[in-house]
Structure formats: C-alpha cells, structure tokens
C-alpha cells in the first residue's frame, strides 16, 4: 500500500472505521497525497479527460449561454462569473473569450470567482487564464462567496467528486458501508443503522434487497447555497455532470487511474474517485429554497440546440486542416453513445426569470 494508504490504515486502527465520504475526502484532498491537492488528474496525461478538454466548442457554448441569459435578464450590473472546480482552467478561458467577443459590456463592472480547493490546480488556472478582462479571485470553498450581486455560475464535473455516503439494504436491514482494516490492507465493512428512517429518504423503505443508496450531503448543501444566492441577487447557474435522474439502487462510486478503472481501496490518492450525480437530489435542493430548475436534459441535446455544430463548421472554415479533429471532438460531446446522454445538465434560476436558453419546455 502507498503512503496515504498506510496513514489511513493507522487512522482507522486508532479511531475506528471511516465512512466512505471521509475516506473519499482524504483520497481527493489530503494536502500531501490527495488526487487533486497534490497533482493534476485531468487531461491526456492524467486520469481522465473532461468536456472542455475535448473541444473548445464546449466552453464557447457555455459562454454564449451565459451571454444570452444575461441579456434575457436585462443585463444586470456588477455580475459575478463563478466557476466551481475549474480544473486546468480551460473552460473558464473559453467562456471568457466568448463573452468578450459576444458581450464585451458584461466585463465593464464584473468580477470572476474561481472556487478551487486544490492549490496545485489554482496555480495552473492562474497560468491558463493569463490576463483577464475583469479581476479574478480564488477561493477554496463556495461558503466564502457572500454576495448579493447577480451570479453566473458554471460547473462541469464538480458535483461528481463531492464525498458520498453509501448504504446497503441487507436481509437484516439498512447498513452503512464503511472502510475498515483487514490485516495490512483496507477493506469494506457494513455497519447496521439503528434508525434508518432518521438517516435515509422515505423511498428507501420500499427498496429491494441488496439495493445500494448513495447520498451526497455536500452536493445538496452547495446546490442550496447557490440557489439561495440566485434567489437573492439574480443570475443563473449551468451545471453539467454524469449522473442519473431515477434512483437505480446501484453503486456508482468509481476509481479512475490513467484512463482505466482501478480499485477504490487499493492505492488511496493515486486514483481519482467520483460517483454519479443524483440529479433529482440536486433539483430538489434548489427547489427547496424556491429556485426554478430547467432540465435535467442530456448534454448532447442542449449543446446541439445551442448550435454547437454550426460553431464547429465556422471553426473548420477557419482551420480546414483541423476539420477531422474538430468534428470528432464535437461528436464525442454530443453523441448519446459517448458523452451526450450519460452527461446531463440543469439550469437554476429565479422562477420569474425568462426561460433558460436551449432547454426545451
Ligand atoms: N471543471 C473541470 C475540472 C473537473 S475536476 C473540467 O471540466 O475540466 C473537479 C474539480 O473540482 C477540480 O478542479 C478539483 O480540484 C475541484 N474540487 C473538487 N472538490 C472540491 C471542493 N470540495 N471544493 C472546491 N473545489 C473542488
């Protein structure tokens, strides 16, 4: 086992089993060995690739979506452009370039806020963005953004890496999955819930045996904070991720290391851990504070409706030699057999705001 594995082993030996959520948080954010805190997992040389890294047209569609929303909302002053989990900074760079080209006025009195927990990635983002048309601020948690200005928020593959807790329905009732030790290694064990109804949502009572339920309290809390901000100051949020709408009672926690699936417990911090996003729970968290949610819809449908193929044709006219790779990138983003339908998107706005661009009623 690696160094972080040994430390987690010692921690469990002294303090008892860890929830999957605590284990995940250590693997991702341990300052010395965490998958995000200590290195960059994104891109061809990392563990996985994301939509903005596949094609610049992804960020361009996000930029146009923000411009259109801002226009529809009456071009409010002092907007704050926010990104959650900006990775290498590629998406924000493409969004800024597009907004600058389509609505330069947006940046007259705007601020840009990057919500990024990893110091390594913060540095990389600083380099990617270079000079910007508005001041950029980095914060490591959304809690630190206290504002009553309109916020225009984007997030891609942010919610999937928030820590989840896992529960399993056994013949003996609901148990929580925990990480414990077995000799020199880490192992999963089940810890019986004394009062499942106090911890799990009501639909858990009717779940079949062997059902797995994943809850992501951090995702609901962050969604609630964002929705509250939008209710107070206006603006909107566009959130992309892979995930599900109907509860499937399945485990989705996965470890990816250099583009291959790996064991979740094997080498903590060396692989990227994530879980599919529960879009019904996100929607519920936003609606609970009175916000309006458009979608979820497939990433492919939204990008196609926003005109990504027209944009690709324009890019090809300007770079005919790149035609093949431009088309392949767009195809990967929108094809239902690739990222077009597993990846979903929702928009959050005030109930009195004009309809979110690109979402079918
Ligand atoms: N949006 C980027 C990167 C996605 S990876 C892209 O599409 O390429 C997830 C990003 O979220 C990383 O930048 C990671 O460091 C950041 N992150 C993960 N958990 C976080 C948290 N709790 N708070 C802030 N940032 C977090």
- State pLDDT tens for residues 271-330: 999 999 999 999 999 999 999 999 999 999 999 999 999 999 999 999 999 999 999 999
pLDDT the model gives residue 152:
98
For residue 80, how far is its CA from the centre of ligand 1 (angstroms)?
Answer: 19
Pick from 123, 300, 157: nearest CA to 239: 157
Q: Which residues, 6+ apart, have CB-to-CB distance to 108 below 8 Å?
A: none
User: Mind listing the pLDDT tens digit for each residue in 229-273?
Assistant: 999 999 999 999 999 999 999 999 999 998 899 999 988 999 999
Percent of the chain having pLDDT more than 70?
100
Question: pLDDT grade, residue 43 (50/70/90)?
Answer: confident
Tell me the whole-structure pTM to 2 decimals. Answer: 0.97
Which atom of ligand 1 has the smallest separation from the CA of 160? Answer: 9
Q: Whose CA is nearest to atom 16 of ligand 1?
A: 85
Going by their DSSP bridges, the two strands 254-257 and 260-262 should be labelled as antiparallel
Residue 341: what pLDDT? 96
Q: Where are the beta strands (DSSP E) in the chain?
A: 18-19, 80-84, 111-115, 136-139, 151-156, 165-170, 173-182, 185-192, 212-215, 235-244, 254-257, 260-262, 272-274, 277-278, 292-298, 343-349
pLDDT in tens, 7-37: 999 999 999 999 999 999 999 999 999 999 8
What is the pLDDT, as a whole number, of residue 212?
98
For 351, counting Cβ atoms within 10 Å of its Cβ (0-12 exposed, 13-18 middle, 19+ buried), the class is exposed
CA of 262 to the centre of ligand 1 (A): 20
Distance 116 CA to ligand 1 centre (A): 6
Interval between CA 85 and ligand 1 midpoint (Å): 3
178: confidence class by pLDDT, cuts 50, 70, 90: very high
């Amino acid at each position: 086992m690696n160094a972080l594995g040994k430390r987690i082993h010692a921690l469990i030996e002294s303090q008892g089993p860890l929830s999957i959520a605590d284990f995940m948080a250590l693997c991702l954010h341990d300052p010395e060995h965490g998958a995000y805190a200590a290195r960059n997992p994104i891109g061809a040389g990392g563990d996985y690739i994301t939509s903005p890294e596949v094609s610049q047209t992804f960020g361009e569609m996000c930029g146009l979506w923000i411009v259109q929303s801002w226009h529809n909302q009456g071009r409010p002053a002092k907007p704050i452009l926010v990104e959650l989990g900006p990775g290498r900074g590629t998406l924000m760079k493409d969004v800024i370039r597009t907004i600058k080209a389509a609505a330069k006025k947006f940046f007259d009195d705007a601020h840009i806020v990057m919500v990024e927990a990893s110091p390594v990635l913060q540095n990389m983002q600083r380099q990617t963005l270079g000079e910007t048309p508005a001041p950029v601020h980095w914060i490591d948690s959304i809690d630190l953004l206290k504002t009553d200005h309109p916020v225009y928020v984007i997030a891609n593959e942010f919610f999937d890496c928030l820590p989840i807790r896992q529960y399993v329905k056994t013949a003996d009732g609901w148990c929580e999955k925990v990480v414990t030790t077995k000799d020199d290694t880490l192992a999963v064990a089940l810890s019986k819930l004394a009062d499942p109804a106090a911890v799990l949502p009501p639909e858990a009572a009717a779940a079949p045996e062997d059902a797995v339920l994943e809850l992501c309290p951090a995702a609901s809390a962050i969604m609630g904070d964002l929705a509250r901000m939008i209710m107070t100051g206006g603006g909107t949020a566009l959130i992309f991720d892979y995930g599900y709408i109907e509860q499937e009672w399945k485990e989705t926690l996965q470890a990816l290391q250099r583009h291959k699936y790996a064991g979740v417990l094997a080498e903590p911090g060396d692989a990227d851990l994530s879980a599919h996003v529960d879009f019904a729970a996100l929607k519920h968290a936003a609606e609970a504070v009175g916000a309006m949610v458009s979608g979820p819809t497939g990433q492919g449908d939204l990008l196609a409706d926003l005109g990504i193929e027209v944009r690709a044709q324009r890019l090809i006219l300007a770079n005919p030699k790149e035609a093949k790779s431009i088309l392949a990138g767009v195809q990967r983003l929108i094809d239902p057999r690739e990222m077009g339908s597993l990846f979903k998107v929702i928009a959050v706005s005030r109930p009195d705001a004009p309809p979110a661009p690109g979402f079918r009623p």
